[in-house]
Amino acid sequence: MTDALAILAQGLIKNYGPVPALQGVDLEVQQGEIFGFLGPNGAGKTTTIRCCLDLIRPDRGILRILGLDPQKDSVSVRRRCGYLPGELHFEDSFSVKGYFRYLDQLRDHKTEWQRVQKMADRIDLDLKPQIKNLSKGNKQKVGIIQAFMHRPDLLLLDEPTLGLDPLVQHEVLQMIVEACDEGTTIFFSSHNMSEVQDIAKRVAIIRNGVVVEVADTQALIKRTLRRVDIRFSQEVNIDSLQNLPGVKMLSSTNDRNIRLQIEGEMDKLIKTLATYPVSDFETEQPTLEEVFMAYYEKERSGTGTE
């Protein structure tokens, strides 16, 4: 079972002095999938990714990357992975092309240079300038290409489209999908919920160093929240609807048109509406961002999901 997993984490604990970063992270990422990792700043996303590459070490827990222990086989793990950190640091004296040539030497010349040039063309990156003269967005492009260029078995991407314009963002997401089609596993964190929703088959939500949910992306959206627009054929008293468990009033233009947010099953709402003169009824699925925010609204109100 472990050999079929790109990432296996069990009970990962990591503290920075008195500050807890990971408080028992459990994850299983299948080989060949695109897996989204969601959470606010400070939730533990970057710490988890850095542990995967043995850039930092957990205090306790089990971690296997492509079947290997990153603490015992760190060179092998890093050779088979591509990594885009959230904070990029380059040797500024290199030109872009020189930097890629340097990385190719470190990787035993396994990179197809034509592939590097093609990726650079796709995301509009000039290979001639020195890295120190690049804008933040162009440095992000350098980081993306260096992660992809050697066809790794596992891509670990921390905010891959950060600072990129929309057209380049689209191209990078397409590159991720293409890499997955070629057999690469992608594990990426992002604050851009729409891009996670578009390409990730499964997602994990991490909160305060604990993974609180792992689910198929679409299943998570469908089961968590719905918006319902209801139109009545005459004015009605809607108090009984607002008092239903899991129902939240979003808007009411008058006593004949209302919009509700429903969490969980809709059975009680449907049965209650059977007593009303309903002339129209429409449901709308939420976005992944709305699902994500619902978890943190619960946390702030003290009604967590664990």
Q: How would residue 1 be classed by pLDDT, with cut points 50, 70 and 90? A: very low
**Is the model more confident about 30 or about 238?**
30
pLDDT at 220: 75
19-56 tens-digit pLDDT: 999 999 999 999 999 999 988 888 899 999 999 999 99
- Is the residue at 189 inside a domain? yes
Q: Judge contact between 104 and 130, C-beta under 8 A.
A: no
Looking at the structure, do residues 198 and 249 belong to the same domain, yes or no? no
Q: How would residue 195 be classed by pLDDT, with cut points 50, 70 and 90? A: confident
Calculate mean pLDDT across residues 9-27: 96
The burial class, CB within 10 Å (0-12 / 13-18 / 19+), for 289 is middle
Looking at the structure, do residues 249 and 291 belong to the same domain, yes or no? yes
- Is the residue at 253 inside a domain? yes
Looking at the structure, do residues 36 and 157 belong to the same domain, yes or no? yes
How many CA within 13 A on the CB side of residue 108?
A: 2
Give the number of domains in the chain.
2
- pLDDT over threshold 90, residue 194: no
Q: How would residue 254 be classed by pLDDT, with cut points 50, 70 and 90? A: confident
266-289 tens-digit pLDDT: 788 888 899 899 999 988 766 667
Looking at the structure, do residues 200 and 225 belong to the same domain, yes or no? no
- pLDDT over threshold 70, residue 78: yes
Looking at the structure, do residues 181 and 62 belong to the same domain, yes or no? yes
pTM of the shown model: 0.78
pLDDT at 224: 62
- Is the residue at 99 inside a domain? no
Question: The domain that contains 62 carries what CATH number?
Answer: 3.40.50.300
Looking at the structure, do residues 148 and 266 belong to the same domain, yes or no? no
Calculate mean pLDDT across residues 171-185: 97
- Is the residue at 111 inside a domain? no
- Is the residue at 110 inside a domain? no
Q: Which two tokens stand for residue 215?
A: 């689910």
Q: Which two tokens stand for residue 203?
A: 């997602």
- Is the residue at 108 inside a domain? no
pLDDT at 173: 96
Q: Which two tokens stand for residue 52?
A: 């995967």
Q: What is the largest CA-CA distance in the chain?
A: 75
**Is the model more confident about 101 or about 255?**
101
Q: How would residue 74 be classed by pLDDT, with cut points 50, 70 and 90? A: very high
- pLDDT over threshold 50, residue 158: yes
- pLDDT over threshold 80, residue 291: no
Q: Judge contact between 261 and 225, C-beta under 8 A.
A: yes
Looking at the structure, do residues 203 and 257 belong to the same domain, yes or no? no
The secondary structure of the chain, three-state, reads CHHHEEEEEEEEEEEECCEEEEEEEEEEEECCCEEEEECCCCCCHHHHHHHHCCCCCCCEEEEEECCECCCCCHHHHHHHEEEECCCCCCCCCCEHHHHHHHHHHHCCCCCCHHHHHHHHHHCCCCCCCEHHHCCHHHHHHHHHHHHHCCCCCEEEEECCCCCCCHHHHHHHHHHHHHHHHCCCEEEEECCCHHHHHHHCCEEEEEECCEEEEEEEHHHHHHHHEEEEEEEECCCCCCHHHHCCCCEEEEEEEECCEEEEEEECCCHHHHHHHCCCCEEEEEEECCCHHHHHHHHHHHHHHCCCCC
Cross-strand pairs, 65: 7, 68
Question: The domain that contains 274 carries what CATH number?
Answer: 3.30.70.250
Task: List the domain range (segments joined by +) for residue 270.
Answer: 221-301
pLDDT at 303: 44
Q: How would residue 223 be classed by pLDDT, with cut points 50, 70 and 90? A: low
86-136 tens-digit pLDDT: 889 888 789 999 999 999 998 888 888 999 999 999 999 999 999 999 999
